[in-house]
């Protein structure tokens, strides 16, 4: 009788261990699927507000520095929080032209929550963070087609969030969900963060030209929006400082 009781206890402990292991596995799997989980309309709207607000705040900070005497090539987006290197050798040593520093732009860096993004496959170094570029042209800005603008980009935005962004900004009335580019996310950014210089790479244009077979320039004169890249991922952009 004692033998049966001990074996029964062992079996109970085994079942408990299996249950706990299963719960841990489910929790781990669920966390890894966070970027593909369905989000509500309210969540999409909240994420879109965060993106638009960050873009507006960043643009205002850049404008303040520019008016204060910082040349665009002196502006630095360096921060210890952002893993991408934005060390600008042209910036004053007193950090008066640093956007994310109290001596300069005086705004805080806020990383984008993963819930607003869709994890790319294969993974890229541009996923999960804001990207400030000096190699992008947006149609209608500048005196020539290859005039580069200082541009904020958030790649791999969820479609639901992207639609909300365009709605908030007033980019509506498209014949499709959103205009489409003729290049990929990685081709647009090329892992070249802004460090004080502009570099035209041939594939850094945002114009929506690929929409409907290249019949219209949907982003012409639109300083901010969310567009679809040819790799199937959505991308938010905002001109921080146009060059004319």
Please state the domain count of the chain.
Answer: 2
pTM beyond 0.85: the answer is no
How confident is the model at residue 196, as a pLDDT? 94
How confident is the model at residue 36, as a pLDDT? 57
Q: How far apart are CA 91 and CA 187, in angstroms?
A: 28
Asked if residue 134 lies in contact with residue 172, where contact means CB atoms within 8 angstroms, the answer is no
Q: How far apart are CA 133 and CA 239, in angstroms?
A: 10
Grade residue 168 by pLDDT with cuts at 50, 70 and 90.
Answer: very high
Q: How far apart are CA 46 and CA 43, in angstroms?
A: 5
Are 5 and 87 in a shared domain? no
Q: Sign of dihedral through CA atoms 62, 167, 192, 142?
A: negative
Q: Quick: pLDDT tens for 29-51.
A: 333 334 557 899 999 999 999 99
User: Of 14 and 158, which is predicted with more confidence?
Assistant: 158
Q: Quick: pLDDT tens for 191-226.
A: 789 999 988 765 677 877 666 555 567 788 889 999
* Tokens describing residue 64: 């303040």
Are 70 and 128 in a shared domain? yes
Residue-number span of the structural domain to which 9 is assigned: 1-32
């Amino acid at each position: 009788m004692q033998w049966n009781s001990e074996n029964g206890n062992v079996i109970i402990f085994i079942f408990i261990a299996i249950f706990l292991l299963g719960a841990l596995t489910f929790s781990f799997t669920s966390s890894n699927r966070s970027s593909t989980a369905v989000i509500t309309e309210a969540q999409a709207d909240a994420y879109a507000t965060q993106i638009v607000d960050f873009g507006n705040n960043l643009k205002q900070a850049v404008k303040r520095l520019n008016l204060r005497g910082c040349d665009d090539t002196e502006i630095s987006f360096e921060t210890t929080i952002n893993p991408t290197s934005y060390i600008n050798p042209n910036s004053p040593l007193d950090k008066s032209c640093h956007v994310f520093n109290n001596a300069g732009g005086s705004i805080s860096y806020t990383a984008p929550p993963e819930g607003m993004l869709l994890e790319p496959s294969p993974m890229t170094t541009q996923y999960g963070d804001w990207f400030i570029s000096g190699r992008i042209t947006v149609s209608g800005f500048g005196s020539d087609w290859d005039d580069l603008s200082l541009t904020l980009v958030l790649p791999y935005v969820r479609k639901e969030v992207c639609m909300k962004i365009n709605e908030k900004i007033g980019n509506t009335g498209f014949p499709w969900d959103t205009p489409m580019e003729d290049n990929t996310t990685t081709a647009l950014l090329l892992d070249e963060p802004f460090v004080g210089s502009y570099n035209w790479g041939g594939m850094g244009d945002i114009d929506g030209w690929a929409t409907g077979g290249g019949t219209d320039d949907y982003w012409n004169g639109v300083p901010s929006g969310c567009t679809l890249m040819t790799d199937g991922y959505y991308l938010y952009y905002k001109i921080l400082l146009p060059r004319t």
